[in-house]
Structure 1
């Protein structure tokens, strides 16, 4: 119906026009309120939205919802986030030894029953030792996770690799 009223016999009359409203919404921020927000931000560029809302309410009689202020704040291109004072983390290079026997990594994991092959009623702990330089590993199962098992495992690992390491790294576990 609207197209029929608009048609005057030319193609240009049927061309799509802007859908933007001609008049602003009656509840939109007024020019006066926008000036208050701009002025307050210009004088205090690092002010938070909560502080701005409080100042506008107490000093200017601003009566809108804080969410409306946030929307306008973003639309005007202001950032609501203060710049971080936290220092950036600098990643440290991980030291991997070039020769054998300098550093081993040791770990202990509980082996879940879903990983068992056959019928085994007991629970197992898998002790793993990895040489950092060669990435060669030694694995041995134990029925308990104790200091006795750990010492026995380290002795078996030394016998397997054929040398003692300078450092054994663990992951802060009980081993």
Structure 2
């Protein structure tokens, strides 16, 4: 994964693949619980100090804060969700666009940086046949690692592999 931290174009291509592959045929509150528990167990096993939030239609349907995460991480979850829900793409995808094209939240997308995040850690909850219905957000690690944690858990949950 180190190459992706240095090569923004390669990172963007990976994120685009992830957004295409990591989609749901159906998604219920029970699915949110099961995905959230999988994420919590993975984080505990790896001793990650993260906060996790899953939303559907702007309703928080799963939330958990692990040891070491704090209120600041909770604020970042909201900003990452806002980015995903408004842009209908992962927050890391928007970050790569900004990096490659020299864009900013305020000037190019008219988004308040206190309400939106230009960094990884927010991923769209995409329902096939419908579109983006929510978000899966993580905060507490370096932003690319937040994103990769989400996508790794989604690969396990959906039984697919991206790349």
Range class of TM-score, shorter chain: under 0.3
Name the larger-Rg structure: 1
Q: State the TM-score, normalizing by the size of structure 1.
A: 0.22
Larger RCO (CA under 8 A, 6+ residues apart): 2
